[in-house]
Structure 1
Amino acid sequence: MLKTAVLLKPVSRLLAIGVLLGSMACTSIYRNHGYVPTAEELAALQVGVDTRDSVIEAIGTPSSSGMLDDSGYFYVTTRFRHYGARQPEIVSRQLVAIRFDQRGVVRNIERYGLEQGRIVELDRRVTDSSIEDKSFLRQLLGNVSTFNPGNLVN
């Protein structure tokens, strides 16, 4: 009887540790990505007065800017929730758009988010490296044929 009581103690400890680790693995982990200026920082900007340079000095460099016509600065922040082995879920996203006129003066300041029903899709463009299908050995042997000893002499 005494031996079984002594054996149950380590087993119950291991079981308690397993339950504790299992419950910790299922807690939500939040991660923030990006930057959006505060309401006070945005209130310091004056529509019709501030320029591109003064905006960068006041609130910092934007996450991105208008690509085609350079019409504005965009500050984006996203909050993700990671839960166990599930795919990360977007909890909130905010976008501040500062638009400029042709002279580079602030024309409008807008704030968008998931709360208003506006989903801001962020698209990342990645340059193709063209080495996806090649193994390390194939890349190494491919570089041997491009080696020219004459380049070493000069």
Structure 2
Amino acid sequence: MFSKRPFDVSRMAIFATLAGAALATGGCTSIRDHRGYIFDPALANAIQPGIDNKQSVEGTLGQPSIASQYGQPVWYYVSSTTSQRVLGVPNTEKHEVLKVAFDASGNVASVTRGGMDDVRDINPNGDKTETMGRDRSFIQDLFGNIGTVGSMPGGAGGSAGGGPNGS
């Protein structure tokens, strides 16, 4: 009825080897990610100081990634490309910043570009955050207010007429 085919061990071994290699290779590839503004060099080079203003810059480049809130008006167009291995730390491959500064009347005063040379590595101290004020222990923070509630004039235990509405 049915013809029996002998089990081919060599084909199965080759298939298993190729499947294992494909899985192993997939784990070694990098994940690329782009964040921020997508630069078009022709558009970025088209912005000219003294010629363009805020409206023409926004029409050419679009909304900025970051706009200054204080001082001289400055728009920043920021772009970063990173790669990361599986379960690894992201590595910045490319970083570009286009800084467009405006004068008081809204005209472009200067255009500067920055790159990877301007990136600074910041290592925050994860152990303790420095604050202004007293340096108190946990026990002092926990029991520090005992006896102080109501002892001030106008408080709950103070003179009469010290409520929040003066009554």
Q: TM-score range by the shorter chain?
A: 0.5 to 0.7
* Aligned Cα root-mean-square deviation (Å): 2.5
Task: Assess, with a 3 A threshold, how the Cα gap between structure 1 residues 51 and 19 changes in structure 2: closer, same or farther.
Answer: same
Aligned residues of 2:48 and 2:111 also touching (Cα < 8 A): no
Residues 54-69 of structure 1 mapped to structure 2, 5 A cutoff: 54-69=56-71
| Alpha-carbon distance between aligned partners in 1 of 2:25 and 2:16, rounded to the nearest angstrom | 14
- Offset at residue 40 of structure 1 (A): 1.8
Letter in 2 for 1:61: Q
- Offset at residue 37 of structure 1 (A): 3.8
Greater share of helix residues, 1 or 2? 1
- Offset at residue 46 of structure 1 (A): 2.4
| Alpha-carbon distance between aligned partners in 2 of 1:18 and 1:95, rounded to the nearest angstrom | 43
| Alpha-carbon distance between aligned partners in 2 of 1:8 and 1:34, rounded to the nearest angstrom | 51
Matching residue of 1:119: 119
Matching residue of 1:88: 90
**Structure with more contact order per residue of length (Cα contacts < 8 Å, sep ≥ 6):** 1
| Cα displacement string for residues 76-101 of structure 1 (whole angstroms, at most 9, x for unaligned residues) | 10001122221221111000000011
3-state SS of the aligned residue for 1:76? Answer: strand
TM-score with structure 2 length normalisation?
Answer: 0.61
Work out which of the two has the higher radius of gyration on C-alpha atoms and give 1 or 2.
Answer: 2
| Alpha-carbon distance between aligned partners in 2 of 1:61 and 1:54, rounded to the nearest angstrom | 11
Matching residue of 1:34: 36
Aligned residues of 1:28 and 1:84 also touching (Cα < 8 A): yes
| Alpha-carbon distance between aligned partners in 2 of 1:53 and 1:37, rounded to the nearest angstrom | 19
Task: Assess, with a 3 A threshold, how the Cα gap between structure 1 residues 38 and 73 changes in structure 2: closer, same or farther.
Answer: same
TM-score with structure 1 length normalisation?
Answer: 0.66
| Cα displacement string for residues 102-137 of structure 1 (whole angstroms, at most 9, x for unaligned residues) | 1111000000000xx21167xxxxxxxxxxxxxxxx
Task: Assess, with a 3 A threshold, how the Cα gap between structure 1 residues 13 and 43 changes in structure 2: closer, same or farther.
Answer: closer
- Offset at residue 69 of structure 1 (A): 2.8
Does residue 75 of the first structure (1) align with residue 77 of the second (2)? yes
3-state SS of the aligned residue for 1:42? Answer: helix
Matching residue of 1:99: 101
Q: List runs of 5+ in structure 1 lacking aligned partners.
A: 122-154
Letter in 2 for 1:88: P
